[in-house]
Amino acid sequence: MPLRVAGLMAVALLGLVVASVFERALGSAAELPIFFGLPASGLTEAEEAMRLAATDAAFAAIAYVTAGLSSVSAAIARLTLERKNLPARA
């Protein structure tokens, strides 16, 4: 049960990261009816380019966060593994 809760928390927190990075990357176009993950119609070429750049920035942020968390978990696993003295093979 705790792992399910942790997974739900991770998804929610990563959603928060996506939303904040997407909004910040849109900059002045944040007032337009553009939402992450949804196609937008009626945008000019410049606005569509801004939407694509914001989407790329949001995906990159998620990739960096998950890579960092994976590195931390690998380091914790490495430091906490039990070392068993196995006999040397002859």
Burial class (CB in 10 A: 0-12, 13-18, 19+), 50: buried
Does any domain span residue 18?
Answer: yes
Domain region containing 44: 2-80
Helices 2-26 and 45-80 sit at what angle, rounded to 10 degrees? 150
Count the domains in the chain: 1
Does any domain span residue 15?
Answer: yes
Count of residues for the chain?
Answer: 90
- Region of poorest pLDDT, from 13-17, 74-78, 84-88: 84-88
Does any domain span residue 74?
Answer: yes
Does any domain span residue 89?
Answer: no
Q: What predicted TM-score, i.e. pTM, was given to this entire model?
A: 0.72
Question: Does residue 33 surpass a pLDDT of 70?
Answer: yes
* Distance in angstroms (rounded) separating the CA atoms of residues 8 and 2: 10
pLDDT in tens, 44-79: 888 888 888 898 999 999 999 999 999 999 999 888
